[in-house]
Amino acid sequence: MNVQPDLEFIKYLKSAGGDTLKKCYQCATCSVICPLSTDNKPFPRKEMIWAQWGLKDKLVADPDIFLCHQCGDCTAYCPRGAKPGDVLGAIRAYAYTFYGWPSGLAKLASSSKGLPMMIAIPSVVIFVLWFISGGITIPNATDFSAHGYQQFFGHWDFHWLSKNVFFIDIIMLSAAGLAVFAAYKGVSSMWKGMEEHAGIKSNFRPTIVQFATEFLWPAILEIVKHTRFQECKTNLDRVQGHLPLMLSFIGLFIVTAWSATANDVLALIPGLSFLHGPMSVWNPIKILANVSAIAMIVGVGILWSNRSKKEAEAGLTGTFYDWFLIWVIMAVGVSGLLAEIARWAGLAAPGYIIYYIHLVTVMMLFMYMPYTKFAHLVYRTFAMAFERYRESPYGKKSVSM
């Protein structure tokens, strides 16, 4: 067997949290102790040796690196301190850049060197649109009390779409659209690579409905229930952070969907124009929004604490990949809550500044989703779907034909 190691890839793994890689001497303790590893598809032993050899192409096409939940059981029991979980985490970080589209944006989001530009891009975009909209003036106390942030980008008398919603749609839908398309490109490339890696030919495929019901939906349900997280032992407390964080995003999605419907559809009906105004603090949707924001801060705070504790106890150096998403989500939650408090207190100037920061952080969360740990949401879901797919008649028949 002719092995051609990618030395730059090995250097990246060492810099991104896999610095203990060379300590592994292939005892297989990690695969034995891992509660998520199966008898016929064990990991992370094979991933550790592939990483030592620098076999980048094998690793980025290996679904098992995404099936790992980095619970820490393998690291806790490794007799050599090789930290397999951190190595696989570093491989996933590389995979998001490898599959990232556009490649320039993916590389920008891969290290702390790109952080100033990552902040600058949404900051400039939102500020320029704010300036162009003519809404860059701070309202007086009366207007702020009546409209809150619903005239942040100004006001026009066009009945069918408010000016504020128009500009926010331009910003957020563009960022979300870019993220969705980038994720689609990345997942498509990953799926193709996984099929080639598994020896599956594309001559026998399920329909879209069959794929969704038999493979994708079961994977989504398993993720929502945190089934595999519950099997981990060493870092079981991560569930305490992931669960409220996940529920907060579901709650905020409901709030966003209702707000868009209320502003863009229902408020156009005679007698329902009041829906254009700020919600009462006792409105059920507003309560859900505030509870979700608190859940987001609590969840990410637990993850922040767990990560800090892990680094302190193990003597690890925190990586940009590990911390960036935690920082952004915390910034989204805190800025959103502070903007709400400023509105309650009637503080227009501080409120507008905080709301501007909030919009920047939300745009960052959307735009950089395919290149950060948030990409777990997409890549792991499809890797878990592929896990079922490769063991199904579709995968097996494809190999034999």
Question: What pLDDT, on a 0 to 100 scale, did the predictor assign at position 1?
Answer: 56
Q: Is the pLDDT of residue 80 over 70?
A: yes
Mean pLDDT of 154-177: 87
Sorting pLDDT into bands at 50, 70 and 90, what band is 276? low
Report CA-CA distances (Å) from 347 to 144, 163, 329, 341, 351: 8, 22, 24, 9, 6
- Residue for token pair 């009546």: 146
Q: Is cis: bond before 370, omega within 30 of 0? A: no
**344-358 residue pLDDT tens:** 899 999 999 999 999
Distance CA 200, CA 79 (A): 36
Residue 217 pLDDT grade (very low, low, confident, very high; cuts 50, 70, 90): very high
Q: Is the pLDDT of residue 264 over 50?
A: yes
Query: How is the chain split into domains, by residue range?
Result: 7-98, 103-394+396-400
pLDDT reading at 87 higher than 60: yes
Looking at every residue in the chain, the average pLDDT score rounds to 86
**Least-confidence region, from 15-29, 265-279, 374-388:** 265-279
Pull the structure tokens for residue 306: 């767990």
Q: How confident is the model at residue 401 (pLDDT cuts 50, 70, 90)?
A: very low
Among residues 54, 28, 55, the alpha carbon closest in space to that of 43 is found at 28
Q: Which amino acid is at 395?
A: G
**Residue among 138, 140, 64 at smallest CA distance from 95:** 64
Q: Which structure tokens are listed for 331? A: 């910034």
* pLDDT score for 241: 76
Is the pLDDT assigned to residue 218 strictly greater than 90? yes
Query: Quick check: 158 pLDDT over 70?
Result: yes
pLDDT value of position 127: 96
Pairwise CA distance, residues 239 & 226, whole Å: 8
Residue of 355, 291, 367 whose CA lies nearest to 328: 367
Total residue count of the chain as it appears in this document: 401
- Give the pLDDT score at 236: 63
Q: What is the mean pLDDT of residues 300-322?
A: 77
Question: CA-CA-CA-CA torsion for 294, 297, 299, 301, nearest 10 degrees?
Answer: -140
Going through 52-197 in order, the beta strands assigned E by DSSP cover none
C-alpha 122, offset from chain centre: 18
* Residue 320 pLDDT grade (very low, low, confident, very high; cuts 50, 70, 90): confident
pLDDT in tens, 191-207: 999 999 888 876 678 88
User: How far is it, in rounded angstroms, from Cα 202 to Cα 195?
Assistant: 8
Structure tokens at 261: 């419907």
Digit-coded pLDDT (tens) for 115-150: 999 999 999 999 999 999 988 888 998 889 888 898
What pLDDT does residue 384 have? 93
Q: What is the pTM of this model?
A: 0.84
370 pLDDT above the threshold of 70: yes
Residue 152 confidence (pLDDT): 93
For residue 38, what pLDDT band results from cuts at 50, 70 and 90?
Answer: confident
CA dist., res. 272 & res. 246, Å (int):
32
| pLDDT grade for 105, boundaries at 50, 70 and 90 | very high
C-alpha dihedral, 334 to 352 to 359 to 133, nearest 10°: 180
By the 10 Å C-beta count (0-12 exposed, 13-18 middle, 19+ buried), 115 is classed as: middle
Q: For residue 98, which of 233, 189, 205 has the smallest C-alpha distance?
A: 189
Strands (E), 45-122: none
CA 185, 191, 196, 201 dihedral sign is negative
